[in-house]
Amino acid sequence: MQTIILDNQIILWYTIRQSENYHLVIIKFKFMTIIYSLIGLVVVLAVFVIFFYNRFIVLINRAKEAWSDIDVQLKRRYDLIPNLVNTVKGYAIHESSTFDNVTKARTAAMGASNIAEKGKAENMLSGALKSVFALAEAYPDLKANQNFLSLQTELSDTENKIQASRRFYNGNVRDLNIAVEAFPGNLIANTFHFAKMELFTLDEEAAKKPVEVKF
């Protein structure tokens, strides 16, 4: 009888120990599940941040490269303008106000400190250049001058390249600005201080009708 009681006590003790071990295993399993879940969440967040951060870097670099193309064409136009003015002066020396306007507009465009100012200055310069080309109608000899015609062709080609570069730049800036504003990219933009960029806007009439070449 005592042996049976002892055996029952041993079985009960073993059962309790097994039950305790089982609960310990369950607790450990739950703990490891939480740890792995947290690690997984951190990995997902890291991938998310890296993806959007790199995307912003690509968009910003594309916009900067596009602006560089515009800058090259604008500088080319700035370089051509003094030659144009000197050529026209030889035939229309009394049109000093027109030449002064072109010179002032060129200086303002070259000195513009931001994209918005650059756009306004370029609109003024385009208008001033059209006034210079309009003089050719009043001076037939100027209209037939080969140097003048060559400069007019180069400026017209430059204007067309500026418009093409402007469209490319604005497309890239638009993509960047949408990414900065849209969720969830705006979270990364705010965290890393990625800001919107300005569009390069020119007068629509000037954009549609750059300097015309007439023979």
Please report the DSSP string for 182-215 in residue order: STTHHHHHHHHT----------HHHHHS-S----
- pLDDT of amino acid 29: 66
Range of the domain at 117: 61-208
The SS3 call for residue 128 is: helix
* Whether 73 contacts 137, CB under 8 Å: no
Q: Is residue 21 part of a domain?
A: no
Q: Is residue 90 part of a domain?
A: yes
pLDDT tens for each residue of 35-47:
888 898 999 999 9
Overall number of domains in the chain: 1
Q: Is residue 55 part of a domain?
A: no
Which parts of the chain fold into alpha helices (H)?
2-89, 96-110, 115-135, 140-143, 146-181, 185-192, 204-208
Q: Is residue 137 part of a domain?
A: yes
> Of residues 2 and 10, which shows the higher confidence score?
10
- How far out from the chain centre does Cα 109 lie? 21
- pLDDT of amino acid 167: 94
Q: Is residue 8 part of a domain?
A: no
| Spatial separation of the C-alpha atoms in residues 63 and 169, rounded to whole Å | 6
> Of residues 85 and 15, which shows the higher confidence score?
85
What is the domain-level CATH number for residue 149?
1.20.1440.20
Q: Is residue 13 part of a domain?
A: no
30-45 as b/e: b if 16+ CB within 10 A: eeeeeeeeeeeeeeee
Q: Is residue 50 part of a domain?
A: no
> What's this model's pTM, rounded to 2 decimal places?
0.79
Q: Is residue 74 part of a domain?
A: yes
Q: Whole-angstrom distance between the N-terminal and C-terminal Cα of the chain? A: 128
pLDDT tens for each residue of 98-156:
899 999 999 999 999 899 999 999 999 999 998 888 888 888 888 888 999 999 999 99
Tell me the residue type at 162: I
* Whether 153 contacts 210, CB under 8 Å: no
The mean pLDDT value for 52-71 works out to: 96
Q: Give the residue among 106, 123, 195 at the shortest CA–CA distance from 166.
A: 123
**DSSP code of residue 145:** -
Percent of the chain clearing pLDDT 70 (strictly above): 81
